[in-house]
Amino acid sequence: MKIFATYNIKGGVGKTAAAVNLSYLAAREGYRVLLWDLDAQAAATFLFRVRPRVKGGGKGLIRGTRSVDGAIKATDFDRLDLLPSDFTYRNLDLVLDAAKKPARRLGSLLAPLRAEYDVVFLDCPPGITLLSESVLQAADTLLVPLIPTTLSVRTLDQLTEFVAGMNGHRPSILAFFSMIDRRKRLHKEISEQLPAQRADVAAAAIPSMSMIERMSVERAPVTAFAPRSPAARRYAELWQEARKRSKLPEPKPDDAW
Ligand SMILES: Nc1ncnc2c1ncn2[C@@H]1O[C@H](COP(=O)(O)OP(=O)(O)OP(=O)(O)O)[C@@H](O)[C@H]1O
Ligand SMILES: [Mg+2]
C-alpha cells in the first residue's frame, strides 16, 4: 500500500482537485483506492457525492473508539472508496494533541487497511499543524501543488527543509505546477524552467482551466465526466509520474476498466 498526500501550507492551490482526480485515475487503472478527506471543508467528500457525516466524529476515529473501516463509504466508482470528513474535523488538531504519539497516529490508523487497499490518498487542509505532521509521517509521497510564483518555490524549499529535519520516516516530495495561467509571463517562465532544474518538480503540470472548476457543478472528477479533455490528460500525466516516482507496482491488467 502506498500513501500519497496532497499537501501545501497554502490554501486554494489545487490539493483537492488533484487528490480527487488522481484517486479516480488510480482506481480506473485497477488499483484499490481509498481517499481520506481530512479537511473540515469536506470538498473531496462533496465532489464524490458522499454525505459529510462521520459517526462519532473525527474524535472517534483518532481516539480509536470508532473503527476507520466502519466510516468508509463507497463512491459511484468501482474500487474507489472514500473516508468522508465532517465539520468535527475542524478540531482534529486538538484531538490529536490529546492522543499518544500524535505524529504517528494517522499512520497507525491506516496500517490495518494494508490488505484492503493498494493506494491511499490523504487530502489535507492547508496549514502546518499537528495534523500535517501526522500526514507527513504517514505519507510515502507528498504531492505538492504550486502556483508558479517565486514565493511558491520558497514554500517548497521550506517544506523540503522541514521534511529533511524529520526523525525516522521521511516522505518523498513531488511538487507540480497547478493553476498555471499561460497569459502570465512569470507563470509561463517558472513552470517551463523549474521542472528541468529540479528533480522534485514534476514535468506534468495542471493549467488553470474552467473545465476543472466545473467539477463542483458536476460533482465528479474531470477525469470521469470529461475523460478526453485536455484537463483530464494533464491529470493522467501527473498520475503516471507520481505512480512511477513512488515505485507503485503495476496493477493486475485484468482489473482495469
Ligand atoms: N487547475 C485549475 N484550474 C481552474 N480551477 C481550479 C484548478 N484547480 C482547482 N481549481 C478550483 O479552485 C478552487 C480551489 O481548488 P482546490 O479545492 O482543489 O484547492 P485546495 O488547495 O484543495 O484548497 P483548500 O486549501 O481550501 O483545501 C476550487 O474551486 C477548484 O475548483
Ligand atoms: Mg482542499
Q: What pLDDT, on the 0 to 100 scale, is given for residue 255?
A: 58
Q: What is the pLDDT of residues 107-141, one digit of tens each?
A: 999 999 999 999 999 999 999 999 999 999 999 99
Contact between 96 and 130 under an 8 Å Cβ cutoff? The reply is yes
The ligand placed nearest to the CA atom of residue 216 is 1
Contact between 44 and 15 under an 8 Å Cβ cutoff? The reply is no
Q: What pLDDT, on the 0 to 100 scale, is given for residue 126?
A: 95
pLDDT band for position 152 (50/70/90)?
confident
Q: What is the pLDDT of residues 216-225, one digit of tens each?
A: 999 999 999 9
For residue 235, give the 3-state DSSP assignment: helix
All three cell numbers of 158: 521550506
Rounded Cα distance between 108 and 72, Å, is 16
Say yes or no: CB of residue 209 within 6 Å of ligand 1: yes
Q: What is the pLDDT of residues 81-107, one digit of tens each?
A: 999 999 999 999 999 999 999 999 999
Calculate the average pLDDT of the chain.
95
Closest ligand 1 atom number to CA of residue 145: 21
Residue 211, phi then psi, degrees to nearest 5 = -60, -35
pLDDT higher than threshold 80 for residue 252: no
Say yes or no: CB of residue 212 within 6 Å of ligand 1: yes
pLDDT higher than threshold 80 for residue 205: yes
Q: What is the pLDDT of residues 170-193, one digit of tens each?
A: 999 999 999 999 999 999 999 999
pLDDT over 90 for what percent of the chain? 94
Q: What pLDDT, on the 0 to 100 scale, is given for residue 151?
A: 87
Nearest CA to ligand 1 atom 13: 12
Longest dimension (CA), the chain: 52
Question: 130-140: buried (b, 16+ CB within 10 Å) or exposed (e) per residue?
Answer: bbbbbbbbbbb
pLDDT band for position 254 (50/70/90)?
low
Rounded to the nearest angstrom, the distance between the alpha carbon of 107 and the centre of ligand 2 is 20
Query: What are the Cα distances from residue 254, in Å, to 16, 164, 217?
Result: 29, 40, 33
pLDDT higher than threshold 90 for residue 61: yes
Query: What are the Cα distances from residue 128, in Å, to 19, 103, 145, 166, 227?
Result: 18, 12, 15, 14, 34
| Unique residue bearing C-alpha cell 490529546 | 98
- Mean pLDDT across 195-203: 96
Say yes or no: CB of residue 13 within 6 Å of ligand 1: yes
pLDDT band for position 168 (50/70/90)?
confident
> Per the confidence metrics, is the pTM higher than 0.85?
yes
β-strands 80-83, 73-74 pairing: antiparallel
